[in-house]
Structure 1
Amino acid sequence: MYSIKTVLAAGAAALFAMPALAGDIMINDAYARASGMNAKAGAAFFEIMNHGAEDDRLISATSDVAKRVELHTHKEDANGVMKMMEVEEGFAVPAGGMHALKRGGDHVMFMGLNQSFVDGETLSVTLVFEKAGEMTVDIPVDLKRNPMAGGMDHSKMDHSKMGHGEANKGDDTSN
């Protein structure tokens, strides 16, 4: 016979695995990670699906887990060095389509963490869309997830020029 704690824990895990919905926008396969218990930065990754007839755009994200939360991407400079940078215009999500936030690409960046990311716990993040508005998502921390296929070679990444001060210098949370 299963204990009530086991049943409740299984139910909670299933709930967090469910996609989040707001209007025509659905968030699927969300997870967050940091490079270690003492990391000063972390990141969240997920798929944004737009089931509506109009294009939308993720324009910002907020969370109390960090002093600063930004939408980020990786770009290669003329010297072949990968740099992480803020995407101030946000991420377009086409009507009837999707936009993936994944390691080595677009992601939500948490800088100046207020707490450690503990495997199995969840982070509350509010995503702001241009048309769908605000959507709060509970994102599970998954420190064990392996990098996706086609992951990025971080040997060329220059984190010293991210332009965000000392809060995240040297942390590599997107691998």
Structure 2
Amino acid sequence: MGLVALALLGMGSAQAHDFRHGDVVIDHPYATPSLAGTTTGAVYFKSIRNKGKTPDRLLSARTAVAARVEIHHMQMDGNVMRMRQVPALELPAQTEVSLRHGGAGTHHLMLLDMAQPLKDGDRFDLELVFEKAGTRRVNVWVQTPRAGAPAHKH
């Protein structure tokens, strides 16, 4: 019984994938596999939480897997999803911002000019630059969305 409990405890901690940097908690950074032959990809987060009493902003990001990373805002325009680059992602004090794929969030990080497509199971480092919290490196997991979850199309 003790070994089973230890195994279950180990599984839970192995699946924990969040990073704390000052008052900012970056919860589960992930990317979806990109289509073969494309040079773009997208990074999402279960959430980014600002636990502090003052607002912060995500100003930029960079990674070795893409020449550029842009912060994108998504919004429905009739029946069409429109994306546009924004200069920063606002993180109000003591709030949680969702950056999930498939319409569950309004923002994501766009990976541009990638040398090769992202494949399920890949992992890569991503450096996030916050206005107040500073710079934090996180590890992004590439994973296929659960069945029924729409994929991000570029």
- Residue 98, structure 1, aligned to residue 96, structure 2: yes
- One-letter amino acid of the counterpart of residue 33, structure 1: T
CA distance in 2, matches of 1:37, 1:126: 25
- One-letter amino acid of the counterpart of residue 109, structure 1: M
Q: CA contact under 8 A between 2:33 and 2:120: conserved in structure 1?
A: no
Matches within 5 A, 1:28-107: 28-46=27-45, 47-77=47-77, 80-88=79-87, 90-103=88-101, 104=103, 105-107=106-108
- One-letter amino acid of the counterpart of residue 172, structure 1: K
Matches within 5 A, 1:1-175: 14=14, 17-46=16-45, 47-77=47-77, 80-88=79-87, 90-103=88-101, 104=103, 105-146=106-147, 172-173=153-154
CA distance in 1, matches of 2:92, 2:36: 36
Shift of 1:117: 1.0
Shift of 1:29: 2.3
Aligned match of 1:167: none
Pair 144,76 (structure 1): closer, same or farther in 2 beyond 3 Å: closer
CA distance in 1, matches of 2:81, 2:96: 25
Pair 124,147 (structure 1): closer, same or farther in 2 beyond 3 Å: farther
Pair 147,72 (structure 1): closer, same or farther in 2 beyond 3 Å: farther
**Root mean square deviation, CA, Å:** 2.6
Shift of 1:137: 0.6
Pair 145,31 (structure 1): closer, same or farther in 2 beyond 3 Å: farther
Q: Return 5+ residue gaps in structure 1 as ranges.
A: 1-6, 155-170
Residues 53-74 of structure 1 deviation map (CA, whole Å, 9 limit, x = unaligned): 1111111111111111100011
Identity of aligned residues (%): 35
TM-score, with structure 1 as normaliser = 0.70
Structure 1 segments, 4+ long, off by >4 Å, are none
Report the number of matched residues. Answer: 141
Shift of 1:110: 0.2
Residues 21-64 of structure 1 deviation map (CA, whole Å, 9 limit, x = unaligned): 11111111221013323322111111101111111111111111
Flag the structure with higher helix content. Answer: 1
Flag the structure with higher strand content. Answer: 2
CA distance in 1, matches of 2:79, 2:73: 15
